[in-house]
A and B are shown apart, each in its own frame.
Chain A
Amino acid sequence: MSHINDWDWNTGKKILADINQWRKQFGWVEEPYASPNGESVAAIVKVDEMSFSVCENGEAWDNSFDKIWFLRYGPDNRAAGLVSDTAMWTVAVSGEPWKNWFEFVWDAKFGIHEGHITTAAQKNMEYFAVTDDQPWENGFYNLSHLAASPSGRSAAAVVQTKPINEGDIAAFQKGCFTVAVNGSPWQHEFLNAWEISFDSEEKHVAAEVRMNLNDYTIVVDGQPWNQRFSSVWQPVFNPADGSVTAPVRVAGGWTMARNGEIIWNSRLLQLWHHIYSMNGSRIAAVASPKFGRWTLAIDDVPWALTFKDLVTDPVFSPDGRHAACAGKTDGKWTVAVDGIAWNEAYDMVWPPIFSPDGKNVAAKTEKNGIYRIIVNGQPIKIDFKTLWNPIFSPKGDKLLIRGVGTVEDEGKYIRIIMSLAETLK
């Protein structure tokens, strides 16, 4: 397993591939993807009539397939794609297909830190998940909302356990859906189940459910909270004590509940996408304190800064002392850190990323078709045609930049390690 400490953090620039050359070589080249460590770049290419492969750093995989889609790199820096051969589908990792083939595979997910891969699959009209080529023992009438545990070793999904005939609203309202964890369904069925979360130790699972047409709640390991709400959003486990929190809608608006009990005083127009600081002591969530205004609320206190259009991608610094998000007003995006927005606005902003010490924030941005990395509101003056999110070195003193260049580096995939001091000049 590749670890971030083992990556090449020597400052400098490497040109690892010329994608324009690939276009001459293959004719058909789809959008490229870069590995987390930046050492590889890959794209789906056409190698023959009706035959596709993946070109990685200029070399096509040995195997080719009838079709490939959803090419992505895992955290272990291996490229994986969903591939088809004679109308059957599987996952291919670094060109090698899994042994098991299915009638369809989709929604591939990686563990956050390890290279385990889970995908949804269908065979003989049975639906299940497959983790590292190992299908669930049980199949279901349908499967959705697939979730992988933090390591990627476990998977859970919403599954349909009973058939529903067309128009049979009575059968539906008796409950035909539940959550299956590694193939084992919970005992109780619900009208609906949606977003699923694992706890950090991968022992517990929570999901949002609808009990009847009007009542929603959170279910943890198959047991619903006692309280009912007019709506709920995705639950999250506290990484410190294992309690479960979720935004819930009560009379007067949205607020936060823990294990069914309301814990915030605020009643907000909207509240969703809550996250915990690593030590579990703080909660941040995207909130709308009044109609048409959006912000981050931290521990029940919304920032004074609000955005008109959107707030997305909330994140805590590793020490939990700082929070950041992307925000948009009148069609222009920026990043806000601790309630203060960067001065510049962009056509698009990607999730802000804290350095390990929490002192610096970097984000990928796009303006007029040019991509740049911004650090603490200041641009690194290198333009890219395609760019991936920056990554801080483990000590936080350097930045890994991965992109496809412009001008003299036009079409070339570049990996740059830059000292933070240099970026801030």
Chain B
Amino acid sequence: MKTPAEATDEQIIDRGIEDGAAKLTQDKVKRVVQKMLAAEGGARLKTYIETCAHCGLCSEACHFYISNDKDPAYSPAGKIKQTIGEIVKKRGNVSVDFIKTACEISFTECNLCRRCVMYCPFGIDAAYMMLFMRRICHKLGVVPQYIQDTAHSHSATLNQMWVKEDEWIDTLHWQEEEARDEIPGLRIPIEKEGADIFYSVIGPEPKFRAQLIYQAAVIMHAAGVDWTMPATPGWDNSDMCMYTGDVEMMARLKKVHFETAMRLKTKRIVMGECGHAFRSVHDVGNRYLGWKMAPLPVIHAIEFFYELLRDRKIRIKKKFQKPVTFHDPCNIVRGRGLHEKARYVIHQTCKAFIEMHPNREHNYCCSAGGGVINCGPPFRKKRVTGNRVKADQLEAVKAKGAEIVIAPCHNCHGGLEDIIKHYELGMELKFLGDIIYECMEKE
């Protein structure tokens, strides 16, 4: 295995941060920050800041801290101190350069994975603190270029990848046609009002991973599920605006998503294998709009596959032969507790399963989540070297025989793919849907 890259201290120039900061003055920073603290910096922020005892128990929970040779600057408490802590302490009287640094820390050195929350004796949510910092950055117009571009795509097309409406529908037709070559009676039912299930995916699926829609259609067909996908915006459940601090746009995205499911009078939303989208739909965006829970049941693919296998709606012809391990995505395991259902699916479909350690809610983040991978190429090296501990974890499970890493999350795939490549681990990544599609009885 390679040693971690040395050069994370090289200066990164990001146009979103630089150009945004160039339009600021210290006075404007102070004005905007004070307005934000008054409007949104309520009891939760104050309680967290006043409660933190600087005990350092959060440090060992953070993959950035561990992977950067236990540099305190990368500990969760350290990152809070360097960002929102300082802002609160100085009541917004901070420099433009400070905002640039705080932006980089909050957007690219924290995955909002909430592992540290479990180890904090007071349960302080460091992710909330980092998101508050990002919210201030959004209000100041200082956001890394690539994730800001993604947020722009969300706002203009209501999907993450600038997918135009005709391209989306054409992709569904194309995947249906392809799948019919394999299964003649198969249909991807578009705009079918009253279907039981509204199946939603994230932007990268029609853009780069259309085979996942194909596979989902095959699974739905074999299981005899009454399902539909919309021909309108609202098909994309993803949400980078949740991570740029643009909560108003996050709300708009979730409104469109839920209302599309409601317009079609479907009974529940089944989501593809994505973690952050689940967080947005099931936890953050819905609540911002006024719902305590989602207005209709939202089922992650893991739960859906679990149901199909448990109820024998799909049958496994022959189990997957290569030894597999499982990466627990933060948002659906720490955030939703789907780890045992995921293992049920794996045991039903795979011959040999080897746990990586730590696992379940204690698993390390892939370092792509929380919008970090969406900050793009300028920060790739920092992201990958900031997660050497994940490489160690994968190398250890590989030594036990695991050849395949299953990760039911798109961002995890992106992050793990970079780690596997950088550290030359030679492991293969798969979604649960890949495994099921490969092993199931299709007719």
Spell out A's residues near B (CB within 8 Å).
28, 30-31, 67, 69-70, 103-104, 106-107, 120, 122, 127, 142-144, 160, 164, 166-170, 172-173, 177, 191-192, 194, 210, 213-214, 216, 230-231, 249, 251, 269-270, 272, 288, 291-292, 294, 308-310, 312, 328, 331, 347-348, 350, 366
Q: State how many angstroms separate the Cβ of B220 from the closest Cβ of chain A.
A: 15
Q: Is the CB of A192 within 8 A of B155?
A: yes
Against A, the Cβ 8 Å flags (1 = close, 0 = not) of B171-206 are: 001000000000001010111101000000000000
Interface stretch, picked from B122-130, B284-292, B336-344, B405-413, is: B284-292
For the complex with contacts A69-B191, A231-B252, A292-B290, 18 further pairs of A-B residues with Cβ separation under 8 Å are: A69-B173, A103-B166, A106-B231, A142-B164, A144-B233, A167-B145, A167-B146, A172-B149, A173-B152, A210-B155, A213-B138, A213-B246, A214-B248, A309-B291, A310-B262, A331-B297, A347-B267, A348-B194
Given A120-B166, A177-B156, A310-B262, the answer on whether A169 and B16 have CB atoms closer than 8 Å is yes
Q: State how many angstroms separate the Cβ of A255 from the closest Cβ of chain B.
A: 14
Against A, the Cβ 8 Å flags (1 = close, 0 = not) of B390-423 are: 0000000000000000000000000000000000
Q: State how many angstroms separate the Cβ of B148 from the closest Cβ of chain A.
A: 5
Give chain B residues whose Cβ lies under 8 Å from the Cβ of A269.
290
Against A, the Cβ 8 Å flags (1 = close, 0 = not) of B276-316 are: 00000000000001111101110000000000000000000
Bound-state Cα–Cα, A107 to B260, Å: 14
Given A169-B15, A231-B251, A251-B39, the answer on whether A106 and B166 have CB atoms closer than 8 Å is yes
A-B contact count (CB 8 A): 104
Q: State how many angstroms separate the Cβ of A196 from the closest Cβ of chain B.
A: 14
Spell out B's residues near A (CB within 8 Å).
15-16, 19, 39, 138-139, 141, 145-146, 148-149, 152, 155-158, 162, 164-166, 169-170, 173, 185, 187, 189-192, 194, 231-233, 246, 248, 251-252, 255, 262, 265, 267, 289-293, 295-297
Give chain B residues whose Cβ lies under 8 Å from the Cβ of A70.
190-191, 231
Q: For residue B295, which residue of chain A has the nearest CB?
A: A310
Q: Is the CB of B290 within 8 A of A67?
A: no
Q: Is the CB of A106 within 8 A of B165?
A: yes
Q: State how many angstroms separate the Cβ of B102 from the closest Cβ of chain A.
A: 18
12 contacts between A and B (CB under 8 A): A69-B190, A70-B231, A107-B165, A120-B166, A122-B166, A143-B165, A231-B248, A288-B290, A308-B292, A309-B291, A348-B194, A350-B265
Q: State how many angstroms separate the Cβ of B3 from the closest Cβ of chain A.
A: 32
Q: Is the CB of B169 within 8 A of A106?
A: yes
A213, A249, A288: the one contacting B141 at CB < 8 Å is A213
Give chain B residues whose Cβ lies under 8 Å from the Cβ of A310.
262, 295-296
B157, B185, B192: the one contacting A144 at CB < 8 Å is B157
Q: Is the CB of A328 within 8 A of B295?
A: yes
Q: For residue A313, which residue of chain B has the nearest CB?
A: B262
Give chain B residues whose Cβ lies under 8 Å from the Cβ of A270.
289-290
Give chain A residues whose Cβ lies under 8 Å from the Cβ of B15.
169
Give chain A residues whose Cβ lies under 8 Å from the Cβ of B187.
30
Give chain A residues whose Cβ lies under 8 Å from the Cβ of B290.
269-270, 288, 291-292, 294
Q: For residue A141, which residue of chain B has the nearest CB?
A: B164
B156, B192, B289, B297: the one contacting A192 at CB < 8 Å is B156
Q: State how many angstroms separate the Cβ of A175 from the closest Cβ of chain B.
A: 11
Give chain A residues whose Cβ lies under 8 Å from the Cβ of B149.
166-169, 172
Bound-state Cα–Cα, A291 to B156, Å: 29
Q: State how many angstroms separate the Cβ of A420 from the closest Cβ of chain B.
A: 25
Bound-state Cα–Cα, A67 to B292, Å: 43
Q: Is the CB of B296 within 8 A of A107?
A: no
Q: Is the CB of A160 within 8 A of B156?
A: yes
Q: For residue A347, which residue of chain B has the nearest CB?
A: B267
Q: State how many angstroms separate the Cβ of A274 from the closest Cβ of chain B.
A: 15
Give chain A residues whose Cβ lies under 8 Å from the Cβ of B152.
164, 169, 172-173
Q: For residue B173, which residue of chain A has the nearest CB?
A: A67
Closest 8 pairs (CB-CB, A-B): A292-B292, A288-B290, A270-B290, A104-B166, A310-B295, A269-B290, A231-B248, A172-B152
Give chain A residues whose Cβ lies under 8 Å from the Cβ of B191.
69-70
Q: For residue A272, which residue of chain B has the nearest CB?
A: B255
